[in-house]
């Protein structure tokens, strides 16, 4: 079987690595990939829907798996299916669950899935009037895609007004900020909950604990993710079933009935677990249409079931015939980013702000082979050496019988890696 993975980040490297483990895969391609993926797949310099389609047709690709949200939201599944090419992911219309937060919140409210109190606005003045009137802290979210950074958590009215100004008037997220979803800020425990879906049947994955803030103690700006680990520390089987009954099943059924579209692919629910009258209840903060990054890096290494079998079951509507098997050992993902450093024209603040690229990376050959290394922002310099090309550069994924063991290994091995300005949080897995 020939398999094509679409993507170039750490999640996509992990997905490609997982497909490379399958005895059913004879040839694996990644488009466009990155320097680190060269060890598991052939990287193809194809970018954009038409180039990916042309490549898949030319190479007679048997199965395509899409990592990031942008190709899905742009309609890659629709395009491939018209050419009878097998591909895992939701159609463009189904992808609306991620590319329009305003639509999704209204849908969830209509079908009875718990969400925070919210209102949507396309007028910044009306949005400001609203945050002045509600009397509680809010979260201001750009309606469209913003690479995981479109939610601004606000503690005061002044912060909310500034968030509205940045998103709707300064357009820090471009046209994604034409509308905003303003919701009541909930307090509890955040949970990333992932499922495989074939439109009718749903299989939950094991959960992961993610770390979004840039700095230790959950301080600083939101990022795409600074680390993660799995198993989740407090998600029980009983709570998993409650989430399925209250959130996932109603969403899949309600979306299919309302839009007459079966949702097929990966479903990622960002939840806030809130204690109310002695019970823990899930509220949906957001819905995403793909695996998270860096959650994928600790979930997929635990998946013992062949990902080709799962992918085919999604496409063929046969997930009910699949039983997922998981490795019980802990996985911890520690991400190294491009941090604060001086450039020719002053200081770079570092990820998630402006960062410098092109810095040589050394020491990866010394990382213990028991660990996985997934690349997010790496490339080749003029002499072929490994250099930084992004804010999130790479991650080390360790394995341990306990969280403490996995944590000790990841931090020990990361000390062997170096690039100028390198930074990582010191509290991943420090529970």
Domain with residue 125: its CATH number is 3.30.1490.20
Which residue bears the tokens 């590319």?
A: 99
In this prediction, residue 146 carries a pLDDT of: 85
Cα(176)–Cα(79) distance, integer angstroms: 23
Same domain, 137 and 259: no
Residues 193 and 300 in one domain: yes
How far is CA 192 from its chain centroid?
A: 9
What are the angstrom distances between the C-alpha of 211 and each of 112, 260, 424? Answer: 29, 36, 11
Q: Are residues 419 and 345 in the same domain?
A: yes
Parallel, antiparallel, or unpaired: how do β-strands 87-88 and 63-66 relate?
parallel
Question: Which element (helix H / strand E) includes 4?
Answer: strand 2-7
Q: How far from 73 is each of 69, 145, 245, 377, CA to CA, in Å?
A: 6, 9, 27, 22
Is the link from the previous residue into 300 a cis peptide, with omega within 30 of 0?
Answer: no
Rounded to whole angstroms, how far apart are CA atoms 83 and 92?
16
310 and 199 assigned to the same domain: yes
Domain's final residue, options 133, 152, 184: 184
Residue 47 has a pLDDT of 94
Whether 244 and 279 have beta carbons less than 8 Å apart is answered as no
Strand-pair partners of 192:
208, 270
CATH at residue 59: 3.40.50.20
Range of the domain at 51: 2-88
Strand partners, 229: 209, 332
In this structure, the answer to whether residues 179 and 199 fall within a common structural domain is no
Question: Which residues does the chain have with pLDDT short of 50?
Answer: none
In a domain, 256, yes or no: yes
User: Which pLDDT does position 147 carry in this prediction?
Assistant: 73
CATH assignment at residue 339: 3.90.600.10
Please give the pLDDT value at position 205. 97
**337 and 397, same structural domain?**
yes
DSSP strand pairing (118-121 vs 87-88): unpaired
CA-closest candidate to residue 372, choices 429, 421, 291, 299:
299
62 in any annotated domain: yes
User: Using omega within 30 degrees of 0 as the cis cutoff, is the peptide bond preceding 23 cis?
Assistant: no
Tell whether 234 is covered by a domain: yes
Task: Return the structure tokens found at 401.
Answer: 């019988």
CA distances from 170 to 124, 140, 174, 299 (A): 11, 14, 8, 37
> Which residues are registered as beta bridge partners of 204?
195
Asked if residue 202 is part of any domain, the answer here is yes
Residues 215 and 295 occupy one common structural domain: yes
Number of structural domains the chain divides into:
4
In a domain, 56, yes or no: yes
pLDDT in tens, 98-155: 999 999 999 999 999 999 999 999 999 999 999 999 989 999 999 998 877 788 999 9
CATH of the domain at 255: 3.30.470.20
The candidate with the shortest Cα–Cα distance to 226, out of 394, 372, 353, is: 394
Q: Which two tokens stand for residue 24?
A: 């059913």
Q: Same domain for 345 and 417?
A: yes
Model pLDDT, residue 46:
95
Share of the chain above pLDDT 70, in %: 100
Domain-located, residue 51: yes
| Boundary-marking domain end, from 321, 350, 378 | 321
On whether residue 111 sits in a domain, the answer given is no
Exposure on the CB side of residue 154, measured as CA atoms within 13 A? 27
Same domain, 202 and 296: yes
User: Which of 146, 163, 184 is a domain's end point?
Assistant: 184
Question: For residues 206 and 208, what is the distance between their CA atoms, to the nearest angstrom?
Answer: 7
Nearest to 426 by CA among 243, 218, 235: 218
Q: Is residue 211 one of the residues assigned to a domain?
A: yes
């Amino acid at each position: 079987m020939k398999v094509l993975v679409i993507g170039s980040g750490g999640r996509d490297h992990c997905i490609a690595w997982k497909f490379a483990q399958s005895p059913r895969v004879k040839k694996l391609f990644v488009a466009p990939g990155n320097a680190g993926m060269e060890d598991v797949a052939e990287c193809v310099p194809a970018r954009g829907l038409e180039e990916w389609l042309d490549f898949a047709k030319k190479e007679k690709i048997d199965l395509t798996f899409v990592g990031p949200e942008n190709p899905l939201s742009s309609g890659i599944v629709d395009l491939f299916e018209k050419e009878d090419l097998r591909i895992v992911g939701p159609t463009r219309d189904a992808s609306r669950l991620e590319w329009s937060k305003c639509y999704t919140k209204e849908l969830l409210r209509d079908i009875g899935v718990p969400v925070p109190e919210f209102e949507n606005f396309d007028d910044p003045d009306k949005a400001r009037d609203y945050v002045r009137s509600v009397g509680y802290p809010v979260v201001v979210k750009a309606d469209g895609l913003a690479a995981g950074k479109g939610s601004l958590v606000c503690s005061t009215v002044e912060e909310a007004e500034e968030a509205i100004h940045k998103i709707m008037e300064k357009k820090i997220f471009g046209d994604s900020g034409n509308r905003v979803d303003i919701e009541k800020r909930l307090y509890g425990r955040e949970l990333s909950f992932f499922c495989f879906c074939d439109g009718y049947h749903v299989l939950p994955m094991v959960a992961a604990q993610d770390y979004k803030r840039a700095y230790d103690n959950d301080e600083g700006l939101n990022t795409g993710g600074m680390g993660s680990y799995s198993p989740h520390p407090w998600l029980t089987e009983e709570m998993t079933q409650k989430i399925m009954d209250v959130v996932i099943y109603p969403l899949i059924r309600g979306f299919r009935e309302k839009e007459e579209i079966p949702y097929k692919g990966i479903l990622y629910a960002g939840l806030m677990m809130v204690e109310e009258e002695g019970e823990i209840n899930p509220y949906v903060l957001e819905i995403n249409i793909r695996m998270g990054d860096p959650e994928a890096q600790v979930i997929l290494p635990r998946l013992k079931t062949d990902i080709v079998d799962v992918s085919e079951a999604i496409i063929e509507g046969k997930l009910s015939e699949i039983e997922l098997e998981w490795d019980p050992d802990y996985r911890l993902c520690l991400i190294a980013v491009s941090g604060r450093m001086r450039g020719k024209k002053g200081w770079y603040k570092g990820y998630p702000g402006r960062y410098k690229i092109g810095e040589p990376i050394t020491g990866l050959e010394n990382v213990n082979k028991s660990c996985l290394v997934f690349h997010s922002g790496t490339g080749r310099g003029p002499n072929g050496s490994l250099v930084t090309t992004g804010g999130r550069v790479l991650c080390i994924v360790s394995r341990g019988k306990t969280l403490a063991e996995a944590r000790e290994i990841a931090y020990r091995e990361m000390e062997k890696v170096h690039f100028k300005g390198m930074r990582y949080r010191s509290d991943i897995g420090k529970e």
